[in-house]
Amino acid sequence: DAKTTQPNSMESNEEEPVHLPCNHSTISGTDYIHWYRQLPSQGPEYVIHGLTSNVNNRMASLAIAEDRKSSTLILHRATLRDAAVYYCILYNQGGKLIFGQGTELSVKP
């Protein structure tokens, strides 16, 4: 399974943008980049996904490097509710999600 590397933890201030990086240097051409997050005491929750182009949705934006070896999840204005563990996952043809340790994001008021 293709591997991703994320920082263990990051801090942000409320209402400021947050950029969560992910490296996936061994990504294959058919891998989609998915981001999930896990709020405290809850199940994982889908955030966003992309293949090559940058993507936006109501929750976040995903910026994908031109060589696809890295990506960045962008939360435009962090709120206290965004404090969670964020997982960057390479996903291919459906099937299982392989979770790493993710990045634990803390948001300070």
Partner 1 sequence: EPEVTQTPSHQVTQMGQEVILRCVPISNHLYFYWYRQILGQKVEFLVSFYNNEISEKSEIFDDQFSVERPDGSNFTLKIRSTKLEDSAMYFCASRYRGAYRDTPFNEQFFGPGTRLTVL
Question: What residues make contact with partner 1 under the rule CB under 8 A?
Answer: 32, 34, 38, 42-46, 49, 51, 87, 91, 93-102
Radius of gyration of the chain (CA): 13
Work out how close the CB of 97 gets to partner 1 at its nearest, in angstroms, rounded to a whole number. 6
Work out how close the CB of 96 gets to partner 1 at its nearest, in angstroms, rounded to a whole number. 4
Question: How far, in whole angstroms, is CA 71 from its chain's centroid?
Answer: 8
For residue 65, give the amino acid letter.
A
Tell me the two tokens of residue 94.
């459906």
Nearer to partner 1, 95 or 109 (CB): 95
Work out how close the CB of 33 gets to partner 1 at its nearest, in angstroms, rounded to a whole number. 12
Nearer to partner 1, 15 or 45 (CB): 45
Comparing CA positions, the residue from 26, 7, 4, 27 lying closest to residue 18 is: 7
Nearer to partner 1, 13 or 46 (CB): 46
Rounded CA-CA distance 88/36 in Å is 7
Comparing CA positions, the residue from 75, 105, 81 lying closest to residue 6 is: 105
Nearer to partner 1, 18 or 87 (CB): 87
Work out how close the CB of 5 gets to partner 1 at its nearest, in angstroms, rounded to a whole number. 14
